[in-house]
Amino acid sequence: MEQITIIGGGLAGLVSSILLSRKGFNVTLYEKRDYPYHKVCGEYISNEVKPFLEAHGLFPDRFEPSQLKSFQFTSLKGKSFELPLDLGGFGISRYNLDLFLYQKALESGVNVHTKTSVSNINFDGDRFHLSTNTSSFESQLVIGAYGKTGGLDKKLNRGFTHKNAPFIGVKYHIKTDFPKDKIALHNFESGYCGISAIEENKFNLCYLGSREMLRKYGSIEAMEANVVRKNPYLKDIYDNSEFLFERPEVINAFSFAPKKSVEQHVLMSGDTAGLITPLCGNGMAMAIHSAKILSDCIDRNFKGNRLQRDKLEREYSSEWKTTFSKRLRVGRNTQKLFGSAITSEIAVWLMKNSKAFAYRIMKNTHGDPF
């Protein structure tokens, strides 16, 4: 029987696996894809996580991440507002960052199975019974870190799976003429698009759109031509950039509905526990922070083969809620100002006329350094 099983090898899963393995636990991680690979993501990380990453030898400095210091916000019609980022951040592709952390996990003694999906999970007799595409096994503890959506969500009958999932995410890597220290968020009808530098003189261009608009226009290309490019800043980017992917990375049908951090004794981490709206790209920082919180809780409540499961679940749920619930709530409410001609104009006006308002939003969607 495995001691700790982690389902999903993104940021939350990899960081959890590294921390727990270094604490002496026997950790096995299952990732459905093979590293390296691209995934839909804003690829901006708030500096709140930098001290933690550096302290654990997990900061990817060899890739020379971009250093992001300012933020630009534009309305559908192209009105603009800029302000400094309070903490700042750095930009790096998930292609390189996840590969870097995967290699760190192997060095730390994690047993990693790539190209392996966990297809079923049941809790019975104080242990988990799991199945993959190749085998069945048991585990004392399971961490769910498989991202925004997954087949296991429906099998666990998670509440948010019964709600509407109206969003799509689309990502490109491009080469373009844009400041390397700025992250911009450009509104378009029913969505918004972020651009910021990553490594190797490349930029990440990633947007949140609506499934309704995609259905209306029939394809990503048609939707971009008729909706996304209506913002003059985005039109300029599309017209004057070199697009590096043959086709965009796309994720379909997800939502920002609240989730539970523990479901049927599975400890959820990262986007699997709660997904923040990509206002300034804090999902990556939250995934890393949630991995730290969870690994610390496990270490306190799992000594040898003695697992205080109920205490662990209560403690983790409480710490997760205290750390992240306000950020998620502020993100959902602030998102209502985006993706509309009227509300995006109001948002620019408010930010221009009240920097305190702008900084309050920024502060409440970021965490403190740890």
What CATH number does residue 183 fall under? 3.50.50.60
Dig out the tokens for 351 from the structure: 């930010």
Query: Which domain range does residue 241 map to?
Result: 2-365
What does the radius of gyration of the chain's CA atoms come to, in whole angstroms?
Answer: 20
Q: What is residue 279's predicted lDDT score, i.e. its pLDDT?
A: 59
Asked if residue 98 is part of any domain, the answer here is yes
Q: What is residue 214's predicted lDDT score, i.e. its pLDDT?
A: 96
Asked if residue 21 is part of any domain, the answer here is yes
pLDDT above 90 covers what percent of the chain?
Answer: 75
Q: What is residue 72's predicted lDDT score, i.e. its pLDDT?
A: 93
Q: What is residue 337's predicted lDDT score, i.e. its pLDDT?
A: 67
Give the whole-angstrom CA distance, residue 43 versus residue 172. Answer: 11
Q: What is residue 329's predicted lDDT score, i.e. its pLDDT?
A: 83
Cα pseudo-dihedral 291, 297, 298, 299, rounded to 10:
110
Asked if residue 370 is part of any domain, the answer here is no
Asked if residue 103 is part of any domain, the answer here is yes
Asked if residue 97 is part of any domain, the answer here is yes
Question: Given the structure tokens 């996304």, which residue do they identify?
Answer: 228
Q: What is residue 280's predicted lDDT score, i.e. its pLDDT?
A: 54
Q: What is residue 150's predicted lDDT score, i.e. its pLDDT?
A: 87
pTM above 0.85, yes or no: yes
- The tally of domains found in the chain comes to 1
Asked if residue 348 is part of any domain, the answer here is yes
205: left (phi over 0), alpha (psi -120 to 50) or beta: beta
Q: What is residue 281's predicted lDDT score, i.e. its pLDDT?
A: 59
Q: What is residue 238's predicted lDDT score, i.e. its pLDDT?
A: 98
Asked if residue 177 is part of any domain, the answer here is yes
Report, as ranges of residue numbers, the positions in the chain whose pLDDT lies below 70: 279-281, 337-339, 341, 357, 359, 363-365
Asked if residue 49 is part of any domain, the answer here is yes
